[in-house]
Amino acid sequence: MRFWNWVLRVTIGYGQKSARVFGCLAIPTLVGRVLFGCGYLGGAMVPNQKEAYEAFEQKGYPPDYYPQFKPLIYSFEHCFPLVNLGVTDHRAPNFGSATKVPRTPFLGFW
């Protein structure tokens, strides 16, 4: 019980400082930005539209008319459930064909 009291005090100030929750959600948003960005580079984030998906599978990138993937906005939209920026309407995870993990300079252990 003491743990939850501490969590409530630090995160939202027992309801008196509810704006602190935005700071608490910034951390998973930034972590998600890195993970979704790496997933996109590895081919795990694909277009939803059939023609764009087929072009993505053939060339490795979507057609020019298709909106560009923004991992920070995608992560923000998933961390804040009441926010809909339309990014999830254009992209979805592809669980079957992601076979490579991208090498990134800032994550040397990959």
User: Does 103 score more than 80 pLDDT?
Assistant: no
Nearest to residue 96, comparing CAs of 34, 41, 45?
45
The residue to which tokens 């252990």 are assigned: 109
Q: Which helix (H) or strand (E) holds 44?
A: none
- Contact yes or no for 69/45 (Cβ under 8 A): yes
Tens digits of residue pLDDT in 40-94: 888 888 888 889 888 888 887 888 888 888 899 888 888 887 778 877 778 878 7
Higher pLDDT, 107 or 60: 60
User: Does 23 score more than 90 pLDDT?
Assistant: no
**3-state secondary structure (DSSP) of residue 85:** coil
User: What would the mean pLDDT of 96-104 be, rounded to a whole number?
Assistant: 52
Nearest to residue 86, comparing CAs of 100, 99, 73?
73
